[in-house]
């Protein structure tokens, strides 16, 4: 009798849209074939998951892996190694590389570079430049493209689109949900002197203040509604934005990061200095608490890491010469599991924010659920394991984390990507990632 399953995951606690229950999962040809109770003799490989929880594979929809052009900080291989080590099965990579990802050839080049080198499935955003507006409806539907990324502030190269006329034009060109970095560039320019007034990184949230974020988000919502375009507001940081976004859920989805849910000013800047510097900034505890309230109320749709590594040498430059950004793809799941254990959110809510939510918001095909026919993507975690985040565990080329030394409860122990282990008890397998499939993607000619 031939094997029924290629892989059988035995006796894990499954966390899915159907609830939390103990079951076996059978995998055939990289997809979930059955969920239930099965005989070990029915599988080519059997792995016992006694005492472990099986989550749908975590999807991180905001990472900056720096390739091409900035590989001294990170590249597609090292970034996805960090992803797999942290229980992440798929990543959406941002366009602010060198050159920017803003046309078909640059998308094709990223896909070529990723082929055979990544430890996670992957998709790439195409950046709106203001000069490629007419091409965006075509570009956003190419295979391997996660959608369009729009920078209203704080971008590099030609990716900044900060005036209402060009913003409106970009929003009117295309149908897929557009991801937006919402900071008000005119206000940032007007307040630049705050950053250079002689202090350290503690000035960062004063320069890029809450009003800069609120103004941009308010403008975005007005323009998006006029254009009839769905938008996804990235890394929301303020109480005031959450009030706005709660009233516009018909057109706007919302992302928050583990960093903004975990760190707060002024303590983060006192302890970490420029290592705590990111855009939008780490803000005061009142904003952090409002993010948590919005998350529990259902206003937040997605947790993304905004993984944006720089070398320690770069980060240790005096503020404001120091670059903004910190690594996060590997610590996303450990931090959020720690919050689950602290009672700040439920395990089912975490799953929605890290797998089902991304699949729903971006129209991902075949991922985000533990269900028959879906990709056999799993983040297997030891929910009660208490451990310390150490530099030796980190795989990002930058080699540091703002959370180094932090004790957390809950650890990713296995990452299963389309039915094969990309990580197992701290060891990477080298199972290569593939482009993420989307429901609206067109065939490449």
The helix/strand/coil state of 252 is strand
CB contact at 8 A, 216 and 164: no
DSSP 36: E
DSSP 274: G
What is the C-alpha to C-alpha distance for residues 93 and 145, in angstroms, rounded to an integer?
9
Strands 31-36 and 19-28: antiparallel
Strands 19-28 and 5-16: antiparallel
Task: Return the structure tokens found at 442.
Answer: 């067109």
Tokens 């965006």 sit at which residue? 136
Enclosing H/E stretch for 136: helix 136-139
Terminal-residue alpha carbon distance, the chain: 43
Tokens 């366009």 sit at which residue? 95
DSSP 426: T
What is the C-alpha to C-alpha distance for residues 64 and 104, in angstroms, rounded to an integer?
19
Task: Return the structure tokens found at 250.
Answer: 């018909």
Told to judge if 375 belongs to the known catalytic residues of this protein, a careful annotator would answer no
DSSP for 41-101, please give it: GGEEEEEE-TT-EEEEPEEEEEE---TTT-TTT--HHHHHHHHHHTTEEEEEE-S-SSS--
CB contact at 8 A, 335 and 258: yes
DSSP 402: T
Contacts of residue 41, Cβ cutoff 8 Å, sequence gap at least 6: none
What is the C-alpha to C-alpha distance for residues 104 and 122, in angstroms, rounded to an integer?
17
What is the C-alpha to C-alpha distance for residues 91 and 280, in angstroms, rounded to an integer?
21
Q: What angle do CA 118, 123, 127 make, to 5 degrees?
A: 125
What is the C-alpha to C-alpha distance for residues 218 and 312, in angstroms, rounded to an integer?
35
What is the C-alpha to C-alpha distance for residues 168 and 378, in angstroms, rounded to an integer?
40
Residue of 6, 60, 184, 306 with catalytic role = 306
Q: What are phi and psi of 11, to 5 degrees?
A: 65, 30
- Positions annotated as catalytic residues are 306
């Amino acid at each position: 009798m031939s094997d029924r399953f290629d892989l059988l995951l035995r006796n894990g606690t499954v966390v899915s849209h159907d609830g939390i229950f103990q079951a076996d999962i059978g995998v055939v040809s990289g997809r979930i074939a059955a969920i239930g109770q099965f005989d070990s003799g029915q599988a080519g490989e059997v792995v016992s998951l006694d005492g472990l929880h099986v989550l749908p594979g975590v999807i991180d929809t905001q990472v900056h892996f720096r390739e091409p052009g900035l590989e001294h900080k990170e590249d597609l291989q090292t970034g996805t190694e960090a992803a797999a080590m942290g229980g992440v099965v798929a990543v959406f990579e941002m366009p602010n590389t060198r050159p920017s990802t803003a046309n078909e050839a640059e998308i094709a080049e990223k896909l070529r570079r990723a082929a055979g080198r990544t430890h996670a499935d992957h998709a790439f955003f195409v950046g709106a430049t203001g000069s490629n507006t007419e091409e965006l409806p075509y570009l956003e539907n190419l295979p391997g493209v996660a959608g369009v990324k729009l920078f209203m502030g704080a971008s590099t190269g030609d990716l900044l689109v900060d005036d209402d006329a060009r913003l409106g034009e970009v929003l009117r060109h295309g149908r897929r949900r557009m991801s937006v970095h919402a900071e008000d560039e005119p206000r940032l320019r007007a307040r630049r002197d705050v950053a250079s007034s002689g202090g350290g990184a503690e000035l960062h949230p004063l320069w890029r203040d809450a009003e800069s974020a609120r103004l941009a988000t308010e403008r975005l919502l007005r323009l998006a509604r006029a254009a009839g375009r769905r938008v996804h507001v990235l890394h929301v940081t303020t109480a005031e934005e959450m009030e706005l976004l709660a009233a516009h859920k018909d057109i706007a989805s919302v992302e928050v990061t583990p960093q903004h849910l975990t760190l707060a000013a002024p303590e983060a800047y006192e302890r970490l200095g420029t290592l705590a510097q990111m855009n939008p900034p780490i803000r005061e505890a009142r904003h952090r608490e409002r993010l948590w309230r919005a998350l529990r109320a259902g206003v937040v749709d997605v947790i993304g890491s905004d993984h944006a590594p720089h070398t320690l040498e770069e980060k240790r430059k005096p503020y404001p010469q120091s670059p903004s950004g910190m690594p996060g793809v590997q610590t996303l799941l450990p931090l959020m599991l720690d919050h689950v254990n602290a009672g700040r959110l439920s395990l089912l809510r975490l799953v929605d924010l890290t797998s089902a939510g991304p699949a729903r918001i971006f129209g991902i095909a075949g991922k985000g659920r533990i269900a028959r026919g879906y990709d056999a993507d799993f983040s297997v975690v030891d929910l009660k394991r208490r451990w310390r985040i150490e530099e030796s565990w980190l795989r990002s080329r930058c080699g540091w984390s703002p959370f180094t030394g932090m004790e957390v409860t809950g650890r990713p122990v296995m990452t299963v990507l389309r039915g094969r282990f990309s990580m197992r008890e701290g060891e990477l397998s080298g199972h290569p990632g593939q482009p993420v499939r989307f429901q609206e993607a067109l065939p490449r000619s």
